[in-house]
Chains A and B, each alone.
Chain A
Amino acid sequence: MNCVELQQSLAEVENGSSGPQRAHLKTCAECSALVAELNLIAATATDLRAAEEPSPRVWNSIEIALRQEGLIRPQSTNGARGNRSLLPSFGSRWTWARWVVPAAAVLLITAGVYVRQHSASQPIAANIVVPVAPAKSSDPAGLSDDDLLQEIAQQSPAMQAQYADNLRRVNEYIHDAKSDVDADPNDEEARRSLMEAYQEKAMLFELAMDHPLQ
């Protein structure tokens, strides 16, 4: 098994535990590093509790987005109150919520990819397909902080300063965490901090989505 075959085989046995994979990994430092990184990302993803049930608000925002896209229709009504969802009902006003949830997810994926890219050897890193996020800003996740702040300014001006301040701080957090990873890509704590920084930003967007309107 050569390097290309090993990377292809990871689609089926991603932890490199099969016999041919192990045989190749014993002799190839680059592939060993790749498998180690993939295992680390998988373990970190577990830490992020991605497998946990999303909150009702997440489901609600998905429901709202599907309705807006016309993919589902409201249930038959028995008066105005008949079809009111018990879940938060601010989706109709927060039309931008439909991109907030995937955007938060993209943030976390981006963090994983960034960590992986900055710790893998160059030839292998070049083979990794980086997910393409909607390009709206220079942020690696394609998120537009300006969009977020504009929406908050329109919908809940009293909260704008708080969100702007926290957004600035969390961007500094990400910047510093990236610098730390760049300085020592093998520092596990630094890489974990970067994931946590992105997690904080994802939480900021989630809280913004949750904020009701006046």
Chain B
Amino acid sequence: MSGRTIELVLAGAMAGTVFVTITAGTLVAQSRKDLHFNVGVRSGISVNNPYGSISVKPSLNNTVMINAMLSSDKVEIDSSQNGNRVEIQSHLLPGATAENGRVDYEVLIPADASITLHSNTGSLHAEKLHGDVTLEGASATVDIRDITSAHVHVKTLNGPVTLTNVQDGHVEVDSLSGEVTLNRVTGPLVQVISTSGPINYTGDFGDSGDYRLTSHSGDIEATVPETTSADVTASSVRGEVHDDIPLQPKAHTSFIVRQGSAFVGTMGRAAVSSTVVLRSFSGKIHLRKRTSK
């Protein structure tokens, strides 16, 4: 073997060693953890994950299955079960950062279980459940869909919030500056409070609920079908209000209705109507009629 060949072999061997080391390092750093819990009816599951996403879907039986992908050994998972309650916590170890402290969860729970999810930066997703849903996060993106007969509570700092097909819900969304979008969300109480984020509602306001959409400086837009029945009050202290749908005026109002900054009236059949309050200080308010495609 010539000297040149030996050099090439040694170089290749060294490169291979480095590659294996890096690969092994990656394998060691990233890990997956699976957890299983048996629970009864109407159980409670809590997942607190500082960095990373949490996705929750229904399981086929009374089991809670957690699939967690840990980005490094700077984070570990603590879990406990106390009767019908399961708590999961991503535990950041010294030196953890948003990158190496990240954990992504996929969680399957009984459909009647209540969940509490918390993440600051990842996405929070829950679907096809009928237990109570509580989601909190600073910058977390919140996506909730296909929820029935449940309390849905969401709090975010600036993460966008989207609720789709939430029926018969007791819905409360608080967001400082995130955009809030509600599609086909109905129930006895639907309340959104935002400081500066816009609020978009698309749906028919159910048939006997209390709907309150409030934003200090964000715009509020509600798009409803012509068949909607609702008592509507809309007012913006400094913004404009627009109404594309003819409302039957109300004889008495609790405040002075100034043209262009407020409107009050009933659409559809008053006997089966919901109460809708749209309120902003400096944002625009627009009640639109949904056009059929």
Contact = CB atoms under 8 A, between A and B. Distances in A.
Q: Is this pair of chains taken from one and the same complex?
A: yes
Contacts of A177: 216, 281
For A166, A176, A187, the residue with the greatest tally of chain B CB atoms inside 10 Å of its CB is: A166
B203 to A, nearest CB: 22
B80 to A, nearest CB: 5
Interface in B155-206: 155-158, 174, 176-177, 193, 195-196
Interface stretch (B20-28, B91-99, B141-149, B285-293): B91-99
A203 B277 contact: no
B190 to A, nearest CB: 14
Contact of A172 (B51, B136, B138, B216): B216
B83 to A, nearest CB: 14
Interface residues of B, number: 43
Contacts of A90: 92
B216 A197 contact: yes
A99 to B, nearest CB: 20
Contacts of A207: 136, 138, 155-157, 176
Nearest to A179: B237
Interface residues of A, number: 40
B48 interface: yes
Given A176-B237, A203-B176, A214-B96, A196 B217 contact: no
A207 B217 CA distance: 21
Interface of A is mostly: helix
B118 interface: yes
Nearest to A84: B78
Given A55-B116, A214-B97, A86 B89 contact: yes
Interface of A: 55-57, 84, 86-90, 158-159, 162-163, 165-166, 169-170, 172-173, 176-177, 180, 184, 187-189, 193, 196-197, 199-200, 203-204, 206-207, 210-214
16 contacts: A86-B78, A88-B89, A90-B92, A162-B157, A162-B158, A166-B158, A166-B177, A170-B216, A173-B216, A176-B237, A180-B281, A187-B254, A189-B279, A196-B214, A203-B155, A204-B176
